[in-house]
Amino acid sequence: MNKDFLTFNLIFCVKMKLTKNNISKAIDNVQDKYSALFDDLILLKNFKSKNFKSKSIFDFQYKLGIQLYKLASLRNEITVQEKKLIDKKQLIKPRWFIHRMRLYRKFKDSVENCIRIGKTLGDAFVWHFYQFNLPELFRHIDHEEIKIPPTGIGGMGELEFIKKNFILNNHFALLHGITNFLKIGDVSFISMDDCLLTSLGEIKTEKKEDGSLMVHLTAINSKGRHFFENINSDAKNEKDIYKGYFNPERFKRQIKKIIAVLKVSKEKNNENQLIYDKYYVKELEDVVDGLKGKVLNMKKVNARLLFVSNRFNYRTFSKRMFAKQNVKAYKRREDEIVKMVNSLYDKENLNHPIQMGSIHFDGKLEPISLIGTCPIFWYPIRPDIIKEIYFQNVFVLSLFNPTELFLNLKKLGLEFSKDEDTGKFYFGKMIGEKRMWIENISYFLSLIKDHLQTEEAVIEAIKGIVSITENQKDASTGVKIMPEIYHISTAYNQDNIK
């Protein structure tokens, strides 16, 4: 169904001379805005705090969207200037051309990284509203990500829509362009009554003759849900809207509800859903706390898992634009690092290759997401630690030797075997006369090395998969089972914020 919304005038000006000073000012200004938005998110996570104000959440998407719009427009302008420079290549001295192209590349890399950081804040925001719709949420991950938010008339239309319609027809409107993991459509509508997804929408904007813009919304309902009936787009008073929504007792019931909704239940035909929630949170906090006065810190989580934290000396986004890695810090502790890594090996058994992971951002500064996991913002991690990681002041790497994990799984009958016909190796077991195998064992390794999951929780999840498979052993033909495994930790009101 379709609906047109009020026209509006909106102008953003991002034109500037592309100098190091101007780019630095632009991204540092964005960093300040991000910091304020992060603080708003922490208060959402601790909504019982007397400092929590619903208006900050009411405005969050628009404020973040403006910063992303400006960054995307700036990035587009850099691209335009790059192309102009390439067109003039034959008229320019080679040395100056190379210098300028490298400068533009650094500008663009810095701006794109700022966009990624901002969109991880958007991911944390929408999780709060989407967490009761995990199957629908994780379907987005298979689709191609649009890395750069929309600009021009289309981007303006989306921002103005969300500014005026965060609450629409008793639904929360969630803007996809401010996130990394919402990739289908432009906007989601989550019911305020039951917190379930009602509709996905597409936003189109056209420029009218008088210079104003008109926004068109096309929404497609989920099965059995209805969004456009008796729609009313009049502005609402946020105090009235949130009067009941942020009631602590109501929220307590809602958080319990997610476990009930996703719990294994044959009556609801969701016997393929598994939930696990055990993390190395304290160990992460310890390895970051240990950085005080140091650039590098290491902590053995257990005999087979090592966390390594690295602090960036430059606190502003702009200073990092031309900063070089502090190699000397690693050189000075090279012997200690080698000793710690060697200690991960099992001297009694043939070892599997060491797995390297990272928390929240990977080595290319891309955010790490995995089906079945929530943003680490919602883990019960101290706010100061989360902010250090989200703002890339601290990077945390992991080194994991999966040998002991596979030995424990072997006790369940699971092991690697080679198919003589295809030559491929499989990880699984025989169930009666049939062979069961797990197609993507790397998924479970990622849970440990990238998402703080404990080995015990991963083993329990795999046990659950085996159990589901054993229930299908009498099927006359081969069966492909797609269990839904959720590793969730939405931790509210645990940060002692008054």
Contact 1, 219 (CB under 8 A): yes
One domain for residues 210 and 98: yes
One domain for residues 309 and 444: yes
Strand partners, 80: none
Residue 438 has pLDDT above 90, yes or no: no
* Domain presence at residue 406: yes
* Domain presence at residue 123: yes
Residue 127 has pLDDT above 80, yes or no: yes
Instruction: Give me the pLDDT at residue 206, please.
Output: 85
- Give the model confidence (pLDDT) of 246-268 as tens digits: 555 654 554 454 344 333 333 34
Nearest to 70 by CA among 21, 116, 12, 110: 12
One domain for residues 45 and 143: yes
Cα 373 from chain centroid (whole Å) = 9
Contact 439, 350 (CB under 8 A): no
Instruction: Give me the pLDDT at residue 255, please.
Output: 45
Instruction: Give me the pLDDT at residue 426, please.
Output: 83
One domain for residues 176 and 63: yes
One domain for residues 224 and 342: no
One domain for residues 17 and 139: yes
Instruction: Give me the pLDDT at residue 13, please.
Output: 52
Domain that holds residue 64: 2-252
Query: pTM of the predicted model, to two decimals?
Result: 0.88
Rounded (10°) angle between helices 94-130 and 60-87: 160
One domain for residues 333 and 217: no
Instruction: Give me the pLDDT at residue 367, please.
Output: 94
Instruction: Give me the pLDDT at residue 54, please.
Output: 85
Any residues with CB less than 8 A from the CB of 374 and at least 6 apart, and which?
127, 131, 487, 488, 489, 490
CA distance 59 to 37: 10
Residue 344 has pLDDT above 50, yes or no: yes
CA distance 12 to 176: 20
Q: Which residue has the higher pLDDT, 266 or 229?
A: 229
Contact 130, 178 (CB under 8 A): no
* Domain presence at residue 266: no
* Domain presence at residue 271: no
One domain for residues 158 and 292: no
- Give the model confidence (pLDDT) of 76-121 as tens digits: 999 999 999 999 999 999 999 999 999 999 999 999 999 999 999 9
One domain for residues 181 and 283: no
Backbone dihedral angles phi then psi of residue 174, each to the nearest 5 degrees: -115, 120
